[in-house]
Amino acid sequence: MNANDLLKNIFETKKVVDDLGNEYELNSNLDEKEGEFLKKIIRENKPKNTIEVGCAYGISSLFICSELEKNKNVSHTIIDPFQSSDWKNIGITNLKKANVNFFNIIEKPSEIALPQLLEKQIKYDFAFIDGWHTFDHTLIDFFYLNRLINIGGIIVIDDVGLPGINKLMRYLLNYPSYKMIGNVEINVTKQREIFDLFFKLPFYIMSKILPMKIKYEIFASKVIKSDKKLKLKSSMIALQKISNDDRPWHWFKEF
Ligand SMILES: C[S@@+](CC[C@H](N)C(=O)[O-])C[C@H]1O[C@@H](n2cnc3c(N)ncnc32)[C@H](O)[C@@H]1O
């Protein structure tokens, strides 16, 4: 069975199966639209050495590897401290079922594994962050991946609709060495669009007119960022590293 067939089967049944044949409800995974987005990024940029944080039942890994296997001399590194305990090794089982033989798994928390990879001076062309979803944890993942990624490489961040990660994206989008190259949009209802228009628009306009300093004094951390490059209704965002990260030691931009 190839990765695409296995994915089709998993999404149809909404079940995954461990090595012993026990079935589990599919959960915590990215959806097909997000998976196709990862595949598109890989198809267009042809990375060789890729890495992902957060495997669970291996759905994102299957999407990544199904596209990656079309290239030569590729390798995929997966970091997840709970693959055997919480996820019954099903991520690994699924990759083996799909005949993926170019992956390795590091069963450690990313905050331990990533600095170890940095010490070994390993470089990557593509990274996917979908681990522990707090502001600080995702920032730590990005901090290390920024050092591990080649120029031209891409870092995709999942669940950017969550408040902590959304806030983090506002900060990361200020980095001069990154540009946003794509996103997956969340479908919003008509009611929600109308609500946003009437209730959020005045604040949005105010945040555009007021000088930065006053704006922050009034709204404190709840300030509405008037920045088109960040689509707040995204679920996933891809950033490309376009140059060396040579921000000075005191670099900071309001976010
Ligand atoms: C949302 S799930 C990942 C889903 C997966 N990407 C998919 O599409 O099926 C989050 C994963 O992060 C893992 N995780 C939790 N804490 C972590 C940490 N400190 N470092 C790396 N991964 C972590 C969990 O074990 C879980 O597998």
pLDDT (0 to 100) of residue 148:
98
- The answer as to whether 249 is a domain residue is no
The answer to whether residues 16 and 28 belong to one domain is yes
189 by DSSP, 3-state: which? coil
The answer to whether residues 105 and 161 belong to one domain is yes
- Structural domain of 195: 189-228
The answer to whether residues 161 and 202 belong to one domain is no
Q: Cα-flanking dihedrals φ and ψ of residue 162, to 5°? A: -70, 140
- Per residue in 127-180, pLDDT (tens digit) is 999 999 999 999 999 999 999 999 999 999 999 989 899 999 989 999 999 999
CATH of residue 89's domain is 3.40.50.150
Alpha carbon of 56 to ligand 1 centroid (Å): 6
Smallest Cα–Cα separation from 7: which of 29, 22, 23? 29
Model pTM score: 0.89
- The answer as to whether 251 is a domain residue is no
Q: How far apart are CA 151 and CA 178, in angstroms?
A: 9
* H helix and E strand count, the chain: 10, 9
- Per residue in 86-134, pLDDT (tens digit) is 999 999 999 999 999 999 999 999 999 999 999 999 999 999 999 999 9
Of 68-72, 169-173, 230-234, 245-249, the poorest mean pLDDT is in 230-234
Indicate if ligand 1 lies below 6 Å from the C-beta of 54. yes
Alpha carbon of 130 to ligand 1 centroid (Å): 6
